[in-house]
Amino acid sequence: MTSNNIFLVGLMGAGKTTVGRALAKKLNKRFVDSDHEIEARTGASIPWIFEIEGEESFRRREAEVIRDLTAERGIVLATGGGAILDAQSRAYLHERGTVVYLRTSVQNILQRTGHDKNRPLLQTADPRKRLEELSRQRDPLYREIAHVVIDTGRPNVQFMVHSILNQLGLTAPDAHTCTSGARPYTQQQMNTSQYFPVQLKVDLGSRSYPIIIGQSLLTDADLISHHIQGQRVAVVTNTTVAPLYLEPFTQALQAAGKQVMSIILPDGEEHKDWASLMQIFDALLGAKCDRKTTLIALGGGVIGDLTGFAAASYMRGIPFIQVPTTLLSQVDSSVGGKTGINHPLGKNMIGAFYQPQAVITDTTTLATLPARELAAGLAEIIKVAAIIDAPFFDWIEANIAQLVARDTAVIAEAIRRSCAIKADVVRQDEREGGLRAILNFGHTFGHAIESGLGYGKWLHGEAVGCGMAMAADLSYRLGFIDYVSKVRVVNLVQAAGLPTVAPDLGQARWLELMEVDKKNEGGRIKFILLKPLGKPVIMSVPPDVLQATLQAAIH
């Protein structure tokens, strides 16, 4: 391997050219773009070559350019998205330099290339579908040759360059470097003020809405004014959050010209019930709130679910905004429109799908979050990685110490990546008709724990964490994952500060509780399992295998 060459690969729009130029400048190397080299050699643009000669001819030209450029020394090369389709080109890239795979989501690519007419492969009636096809086809080839994988969702180019340099070992850590975890973050990366806020989009057509992630957003009157259209707002919060954030948030709302009333509910999962819902309705009706009133959920998942259900029901639907203040709600319950209350016979069994107008995630609220609540949020971050994104799972393993320590940059990145994954799943299956059910990994066991012990005894994230360890064990017993993968899941759950030993509810009680689950069909208990790590499967399991997992989990 010619170590002084760096080759950037990835889908179109991943930022290879932009990042490559900045990286080359930082390292004092020559930057080359393979597409630009093809145009220079032919005297024709890429779209023209595609149109006149066809893609096959373009690929031959591309392979020649890759062969020649990889033979040079001391360059940073940005390759075309399809350069890895040629087996010999893949070999040249892997053997003649360090390959960095800039990985990004289809949604991010669409945002960056939506109006770019110089992308021949995207000139179709459905560019999203085309990109999804390209991603499925090419992602395994990028991984095959990559020495380093970098996610490019973060918008700051210099941050990307520093991430690459750190992973390549090309920068020496200074005295302020954080060294816990396999992939350290420097003090410069920890200062996120220059990178945020970040905005994602939950793409649901006319019901689409943004997720804004950043610091000190609760007191940003301009941001609030932009996302809350009506003049009258009702802030729903609880007795724990209100003393911390209600006053500054109310002042920001008033500075934005809003008329504000507040509804303060008791804190705790045990209060996610009909009585709390009626308390919201009583306050709204008592104040003669109309359909233009905006409900704002200021709090964790219980407040978000209650407020969303109230908004869906009051006058048959009024606007609402999610302002999640716990890590769990920031990465899970605030995104996707699932609202509801608990019933003594089952968790979240009464509710509605109702999307917010925006999700405003202020990461500064995590500073006051108890350690137990932080761990509960980490459970959901681990969950989405385990079922959908194996490289993200690797990243969490490498950075779990920083996450537990609340490293600002690391935890913000985890929130962003988790929300991006969930937003994409919700886009494909808004009402949990199929795909979205995979987000319930660990929940079949977890909900049984919560119901069996009584709501509030274990936090939701604690129950899900234990449930994930049990689901991993079940996956292993069925031969879907190997022993190492099972242990990785259990160890990561433990490292996050979550329980992995299940309460002894009794075999009969376990089965009774798991039979009351929205995923079940025809009386058969459905589980989300790993097949393998990073890929989910939904299925019922043989009773003897389930019994073995229950016995092992209880010890």
Topology agreement, domain 6-171 and domain 384-554 = no
| pLDDT of 342 | 92
| pLDDT of 121 | 53
d(CA 486, CA 482): 7
Fill in the amino acid letter for 246: L
Cβ neighbours around 101 below 10 Å, total: 26
d(CA 338, CA 387): 20
- Taking only Cα atoms into account, the Rg of the chain, rounded to an integer number of angstroms, comes to 25
- Tens of pLDDT along the chain (555 residues) come to 445 899 999 988 888 998 999 999 889 899 999 999 998 888 888 888 888 888 888 899 999 999 999 999 899 999 999 999 999 999 999 999 999 999 887 777 776 655 444 555 555 667 788 888 888 899 899 989 998 888 776 456 777 787 788 777 774 333 333 333 333 333 333 333 334 478 888 989 899 999 999 888 999 988 888 889 889 999 999 999 999 999 999 999 999 999 999 999 999 989 999 999 999 999 999 999 999 999 999 999 999 999 999 999 999 999 999 999 999 999 999 999 999 999 988 888 899 999 999 999 999 999 999 999 999 999 999 999 999 999 999 999 999 999 999 988 899 999 999 999 999 999 999 988 788 889 999 999 999 999 999 888 999 999 999 999 999 999 999 999 999 999 999 999 999 999 999 999 999 999 999 988 766 676 789 999 999 999 999 999 999 999 999 999 987
The catalytic site residues sit at: 316, 338, 380, 422, 432, 436, 440, 443, 447, 460
* Domain ranges for the chain: 6-171, 203-369, 384-554
| pLDDT of 222 | 85
Residue at token pair 């490289």: 391
* Helix 483-495 with 390-404: angle, nearest 10 deg: 30
448: Cβ–Cβ under 8 A, 6 or more apart, which residues? 505, 510, 513, 514
| pLDDT of 113 | 56
| pLDDT of 69 | 94
| pLDDT of 111 | 67
201's tokens: 């989009």
160's tokens: 């990307």
d(CA 149, CA 14): 12
Asked whether 277 and 236 are in contact (CB, 8 A), the reply is: no
| pLDDT of 286 | 97
Q: What is the pTM of this model?
A: 0.66
Fill in the amino acid letter for 468: M
- Is the preceding omega at residue 503 within 30 degrees of 0, hence cis? no
408's tokens: 């600002």
CATH topology of domain 384-554: Dehydroquinate synthase-like, alpha domain (1.20.1090)
Consecutive H or E run containing 234: strand 232-238
Consecutive H or E run containing 319: none
| pLDDT of 173 | 35
Length of the chain: 555
Q: Which CATH class is domain 203-369?
A: alpha beta
CATH topology of domain 6-171: Rossmann fold (3.40.50)
Fill in the amino acid letter for 320: F
Q: How far apart are the first and last CA of the chain?
A: 50
Handedness of CA 209, 215, 219, 221 (dihedral sign): negative
DSSP assignment of 325-350 equals -SHHIIIIITSS-EEEEEETTEEEEE
